[in-house]
């Protein structure tokens, strides 16, 4: 793998950097730099989505015929690096990075023509309906029934941990259309209009006070069969494909490297022991260097995976590797941040950052104590505890690798 940038790639980097410099307003930059959740402020994220759409860079990994970019793997990674350096806020991955690849791979021509342009424009904002009260990591245990009534399915049950369902108008959902000899059989992948009669969204407020997650209750919701992706009863194949993109379709390393650079700069100012700066503490700096080395190794693995994607492949087993390494290293970065924060890490100050949902306190304001990175450290630390649980727990990912990669 050649890691030297060509003159053309260096010119592309300059073009991307100039775009971020030109289009990133102060509030957009603040929303990205000071975010404390996996997801950014919804309204600002939608504003940023329209800017990317106008530039033609909103969904670069999509096929060109659907609005993607004919980029090399190098360009994809350069874009990710510059995005991290600019602290650009994230766009919601539910439609663009998760449902869309499944639609492109398994959807009908009519489904692609209807849904994909509306994902790009933001007219359709998506959430996910996978987990249930009795089916989380063991997703195949899902039981929400969907009754076949001729030209439609009647869906009845509930889904939980649905991010931003309270602002979404569509949900991609797994439902049980039959009981078979294996739990993976008899599952169907459906697209449901959240405005349909019988859909109710109930907030699930976290311990931090944030309203990001929700329960979605379906009371005999009618879903036309034209909104089934793939064949009825064979939705597990679609779901597995989608999960590969949820777990391993994005690059973790660029953002972590940006956070480590910021943390290294903060350490030069933060007090350590004996009146010295934290940057003069050999133990702390050795830990920081160790994490950075691990992130650099992850970066190389991500480049290999992106290379496979650029050739038309899917993440495959690499998705589980990236999910494990990416989320556990994100936790390590926040642990360093919490240590660097010192006694400011004891305070709960959500107003210092941009949370992924309302907390009842105005965010991004000046009324917090200590350096901003220190005030954000406990929020980021607590948020990243969920990283090894969502999108399939890391224990499940290790089981997948044991089976698919090692044959155990």
Q: How far apart are CA 19 and CA 57, in angstroms?
A: 11
What is the biggest distance separating any 2 CA atoms in the chain, rounded to whole angstroms?
Answer: 76
Contact of 381 with 335, CB cutoff 8 Å: yes
Q: CB-based burial of residue 6 (10 Å sphere; 0-12 exposed, 13-18 middle, 19+ buried)?
A: exposed
Other C-beta atoms lying within 10 Å of the C-beta of residue 172: 26
Percentage above 90 pLDDT, the chain: 48
Residue tagged 């603040």 (tokens): 30
Average pLDDT over residues 260-270: 88
Q: Is the pLDDT reported for residue 314 higher than 70?
A: no
Quick one: tokens of 260? 């480590």
pLDDT tens digits along 167-212: 999 999 999 999 888 888 999 999 999 999 999 999 988 766 678 8
Task: Please calculate the CA angle 317-73-102 and round it to the nearest 5 degrees.
Answer: 50
Residue 358 DSSP class: B
pLDDT tens digits along 11-57: 999 999 999 999 999 989 988 888 887 777 788 889 999 999 999 99
The pLDDT of residue 212 is 85
The pLDDT of residue 187 is 95
Task: Please calculate the CA angle 134-165-138 and round it to the nearest 5 degrees.
Answer: 25
Length, in residues, of the chain: 408
pLDDT tens digits along 112-156: 999 999 999 999 999 999 989 887 777 888 999 999 999 999 999
Q: How far apart are CA 146 and CA 222, in angstroms?
A: 9
Question: Which band of pLDDT confidence, cut at 50, 70 and 90, is reported for residue 383?
Answer: confident
Question: Which band of pLDDT confidence, cut at 50, 70 and 90, is reported for residue 358?
Answer: low
Q: Please tell me which residue, 180 or 276, carries the higher pLDDT value.
A: 180
Q: CB-based burial of residue 286 (10 Å sphere; 0-12 exposed, 13-18 middle, 19+ buried)?
A: exposed
Q: Is the pLDDT reported for residue 4 higher than 90?
A: no
Q: Please tell me which residue, 344 or 216, carries the higher pLDDT value.
A: 216
Tell me the sheet residues that pair with 35.
354
203's enclosing H/E stretch is strand 199-205
Question: Which band of pLDDT confidence, cut at 50, 70 and 90, is reported for residue 404?
Answer: confident
The pLDDT of residue 275 is 65
Average pLDDT over residues 384-392: 79
| Those residues with Cβ within 8 angstroms of residue 32's Cβ, 6 or more apart along the chain or in another chain | 24, 40, 86, 87, 88, 89, 90
Q: How far apart are CA 77 and CA 299, in angstroms?
A: 10
| Those residues with Cβ within 8 angstroms of residue 237's Cβ, 6 or more apart along the chain or in another chain | 106, 230
The pLDDT of residue 300 is 86
Q: List the catalytic residues.
A: 246
Q: Is the pLDDT reported for residue 87 higher than 60?
A: yes
What's the whole-number average pLDDT of the chain?
Answer: 87
User: In the chain, what are the domains?
Assistant: 7-91 (no CATH), 101-238 (2.40.110.10), 243-404 (1.20.140.10)
Residue 98 DSSP class: I
Least confident of 60-74, 94-108, 359-373, 377-391: 359-373
The pLDDT of residue 252 is 84
Q: How far apart are CA 344 and CA 363, in angstroms?
A: 18
């Amino acid at each position: 793998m050649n890691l030297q940038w060509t003159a053309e790639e260096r010119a592309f980097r300059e073009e991307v950097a100039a775009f971020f410099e030109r289009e990133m307003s102060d509030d957009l930059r603040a929303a990205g730099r000071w975010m404390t959740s996996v997801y950014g402020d919804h309204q600002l994220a939608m504003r940023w989505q329209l800017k990317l759409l106008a530039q033609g860079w909103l969904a670069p990994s999509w096929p060109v015929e659907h609005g993607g970019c004919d980029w090399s793997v190098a360009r994809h990674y350069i874009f990710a690096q510059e995005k991290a350096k600019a602290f650009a806020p994230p766009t919601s991955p539910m439609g663009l990075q998760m449902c869309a690849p499944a639609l492109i791979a398994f959807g009908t021509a009519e489904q692609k023509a209807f849904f994909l342009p509306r994902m790009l424009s933001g007219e359709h904002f998506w959430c996910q309906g996978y987990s249930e009260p009795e089916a989380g990591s063991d997703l195949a245990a899902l039981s929400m029934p969907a009754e076949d009534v001729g030209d439609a399915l009647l869906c009845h049950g509930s889904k939980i941990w649905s991010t931003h369902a309270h602002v979404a108008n569509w949900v991609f959902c797994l439902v049980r259309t039959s009981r078979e000899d294996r739990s993976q059989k008899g599952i169907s992948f459906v697209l449901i209009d959240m405005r349909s009669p019988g859909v109710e969204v109930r907030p699930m407020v976290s311990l931090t006070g944030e309203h990001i997650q929700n329960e979605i209750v379906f009371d005999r919701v009618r879903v036309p069969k034209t909104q089934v992706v793939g064949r009825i009863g064979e939705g597990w194949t679609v779901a597995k494909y989608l999960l590969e993109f949820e777990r391993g379709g994005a690059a973790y390393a660029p953002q972590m490297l940006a956070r480590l650079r910021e943390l290294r700069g903060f350490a030069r100012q933060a007090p350590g022991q004996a009146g010295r700066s934290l940057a003069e503490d050999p133990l702390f700096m050795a830990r920081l260097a160790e994490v950075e080395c691990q992130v650099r190794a992850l970066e190389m693995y991500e480049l290999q995976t992106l290379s496979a994607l650029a050739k038309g492949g899917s993440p495959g087993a690499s998705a589980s590797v990236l999910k494990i390494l990416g989320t556990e290293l994100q936790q390590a970065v926040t642990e360093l941040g919490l240590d660097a924060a010192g006694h400011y890490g004891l305070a709960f100050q959500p107003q210092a950052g941009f949370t992924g949902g309302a907390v009842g306190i105005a965010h991004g304001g000046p009324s917090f104590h200590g350096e901003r990175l220190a005030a954000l450290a406990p929020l980021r630390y607590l948020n990243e505890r969920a990283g090894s649980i969502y999108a399939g727990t890391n224990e499940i990912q290790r089981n997948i690798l044991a089976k698919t990669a090692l044959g155990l």
